[in-house]
Amino acid sequence: MIRWIYNLLFNVGLVFAAPFYFLKLQRRGGWRENFGQRWGLYEGVLKQTLTNRRVVWLHAVSVGEVNLCLQLVDALQRRLPHHKLVVSTTTSTGMAELKRRLPGSVTRIYYPIDRRRQVQRALSAIHPRAMVFIESELWPNMIWGLQRRDIPYFLVNARISERSHRRYRKGAFLFRSVFGGFRGIGVQTPEDCTRLESLGVPSKVLHLTGSLKFEAAAPSVKPPMDARALLRQIGVADDALILVAGSTHSGEEVILARIAARLRATFPNLFLILVPRHQERGGEVGKALSEMDVRFVFRSLINPEFRPSTPSPDCLVVNSTGELRSFYGCADVVFIGKSLTSEGGQNPIEPAALGKSVVFGPHMENFAQISALFLRHRGAVQIADETELEKTLQRLLASPSERLELGTRGLAVVRENQGAMNKTVEMIASALDETIPTAPSPEE
Of 235, 183, 178, which Cα lies nearest the Cα of 204?
183
Domain span(s) for CATH 3.40.50.11720 in the chain: 30-218+419-431
How much is the pLDDT for 443?
37
- 88 in Cβ contact with 108 (< 8 Å): yes
d(Cα 336, Cα 362) in Å, to the nearest integer? 11
Q: What is the mean pLDDT of residues 34-62?
A: 83
pLDDT at 406: 98
The mean pLDDT value for 190-204 works out to 90
Q: Give the pLDDT band (50/70/90) at residue 441.
A: very low
Q: Which of 386, 310, 323 is nearest to 350 (CA)?
A: 323
d(CA 223, CA 226): 7
Is the entire prediction scored with pTM above 0.85?
Answer: no
| Calpha distance 53→59 (Å, rounded) | 18
CA distance 191 to 162: 9
Query: Which of 45-54, 176-185, 203-212, 435-444 is least confident?
Result: 435-444
**Neighbour-count burial of 307, counting CB atoms closer than 10 A to its CB (0-12 exposed, 13-18 middle, 19+ buried):** exposed
Return the closest-CA partner of residue 139 out of 120, 119, 164.
Answer: 119
Q: What is each CA distance from 127 to 35, 119, 121, in whole angstroms?
A: 20, 11, 10
Mean pLDDT for the stretch of residues 223-246: 93
Q: Among 47-61, 233-247, 315-329, 339-353, which stretch is predicted with the lowest mean pLDDT?
A: 47-61
CA distance 178 to 181: 6
Torsion on CA atoms 36, 41, 43, 46, rounded to nearest 10: 60
The Cα-based distances of 68 to 13, 134, 282, 428 in angstroms read 31, 8, 25, 16
First vs last C-alpha separation in the chain: 59
Average pLDDT, the chain: 89
Who's near 392: CB < 8 A, 6+ residues apart? 359, 381, 383
227-416 fold: Rossmann fold (3.40.50)
Spatial CA neighbour of 139 closest among 164, 172, 175, 191: 175
Query: At residue 78, does pLDDT exceed 70?
Result: yes
Judge whether residue 312 has pLDDT over 50: yes
Residue 264, C-beta contacts closer than 8 angstroms, at least 6 positions apart = 270, 314
Instruction: Give percent of the chain above pLDDT 90.
Output: 63
pLDDT digits (tens, 9 = 90+) for 341-386: 988 899 999 999 999 999 999 999 889 889 999 999 999 999 999 9
Please give the C-alpha separations between residue 84 and each of 88, 99, 128, 157, in angstroms, as whole numbers. Answer: 13, 17, 9, 22
Helix axis angle, 43-50 relative to 116-126, nearest 10°?
A: 30
Decide: 138 and 178 in contact? Cβ < 8 Å.
yes
**247-255 average pLDDT score:** 96
Angle at 367 between CA 357 and CA 423, to 5 degrees: 100
Under the banding of pLDDT at 50, 70 and 90, the label for residue 30 is low
DSSP state of 355: T
In this predicted model, what pLDDT tens digit does every residue of 393-413 receive, in sequence order?
999 999 999 999 999 999 999
Where does CATH 3.40.50.2000 sit in the chain?
227-416
For residue 76, pLDDT over 70 is answered with: yes
Q: Which of 123, 99, 105 is nearest to 40 (CA)?
A: 123
Residue 18 has a pLDDT of 75
Q: Is the pLDDT of residue 232 over 60?
A: yes
Does residue 267 surpass a pLDDT of 80?
A: yes
**Structure confidence at residue 440 as a pLDDT band (50, 70, 90):** very low
Q: Higher model confidence: residue 437 or residue 237?
A: 237
Q: How far apart are CA 358 and CA 365, in angstroms?
A: 17
Domain 30-218+419-431: which topology? Rossmann fold (3.40.50)
Please say whether the beta carbons of 374 and 353 come within 8 A: no
The yes-or-no verdict on residue 19 having pLDDT over 90 is: no
Query: Which residue, 86, 184, 197, 200, is CA-closest to 433?
Result: 184
* Angle (CA) 285 287 289, round 5°: 70
Categorize the per-residue pLDDT at 243 as very low, low, confident or very high, splitting at 50, 70 and 90: very high
Asked if omega into 268 is within 30° of 0 (cis), the reply is no
Burial class of residue 203, CB neighbours in 10 A (0-12, 13-18, 19+): exposed
- pLDDT attached to residue 398: 98
**pLDDT reported for residue 259:** 98
Range in 106-115, 167-176, 296-305 the model is least confident about: 167-176
Q: Among 89-93, 215-219, 293-297, 333-337, which is the least confidently predicted range? A: 215-219
More confident residue, 30 or 151: 151
What order of strands is seen across the sheet that includes strand 357-360? 296-298, 315-317, 270-276, 241-248, 333-336, 357-360, 381-382
Q: Phi first, then psi: what are they for 336, rounded to 5°?
A: -90, 120
Q: Is the pLDDT of residue 64 over 90?
A: no
- If you average pLDDT over residues 147-176, what whole number do you get? 85
Beta bridge partners of 184: 154
